[in-house]
Amino acid sequence: MRTRTRRSQRRSAALDTLIETAEAVDSKLYDSKLYTEESLTNLTSALNEAKALQTNLEALSQSSIANACTNLQNAIDTLELLPVLTLNLDTLHFLSQKAHGYAKAQFQSAGWQTMEDVLEAADEMIASVDEAAAEAMTQEDIDAQVKALHASILHLRLLPDAKRLF
């Protein structure tokens, strides 16, 4: 019986990581006021379903866990930012601050490098507000940078943590 429990815990590691990521959207890492109500509702629904499955992993098939992971990842990937109505950098600045607060040692290197590259471009855009280059900046440029930084943050993947397996 002990072997089955450990196997279930290993199978659920991906689900656990996705649940942590989804919970972060509504807690410390992100401001849920950045997203459309519909996309947050979809995320909440997928999160609740995943948590319900998580309580009874012994009785679940691998395909049930995989479906829950897929549904939750899709809900995370399709989070939709609210439109910015005025020319400002508030959302970009907010995401930049959050990204600077992450610890590189907690994330897989491929996703981290992408996020760092996008973050550097975002920081350059923020810094250019006081320079002449800001005159040529449009809200579309800012929105594109917000979307790129947001996507790179959402695609960060936590490194496996053995503490969650036992």
Q: What is the C-alpha separation between 65 and 53, in angstroms, rounded?
A: 8
What would the pLDDT profile of 25-36 be if each residue is shown by its tens digit?
A: 766 456 667 788
Give the separation between CA 103 and CA 67, rounded to whole angstroms. Answer: 30
How far apart, in whole angstroms, are the C-alpha atoms of residue 125 and residue 46? Answer: 35
For residue 116, the surrounding DSSP H or E stretch is: helix 109-127
User: So what's the pLDDT on residue 28?
Assistant: 46
Which residues have a Cβ under 8 Å from the Cβ of 157 and sit 6 or more positions away?
17, 107, 108, 111
**Long-range residue pairs from 127-132, CB within 8 A, at least 24 positions apart, any chain:** 129/89
Where do the domains of the chain lie, and which CATH numbers do they carry? 2-82 (1.20.1270), 90-154 (no CATH)
pLDDT digits 0-9 by tens, 41-71 = 899 899 999 888 887 766 677 788 888 889 9
User: In the prediction, which pLDDT does 148 show?
Assistant: 94
d(C-alpha 56, C-alpha 65), whole Å: 11
Cα–Cα distances (Å) from 70 to 63, 99, 107, 118, in that order, read 10, 25, 20, 26
Distance of CA 80 to the CA centre of its chain: 12
Label residue 127 by pLDDT band (50, 70, 90): confident
**Would you say how long the chain is, in residues?**
166
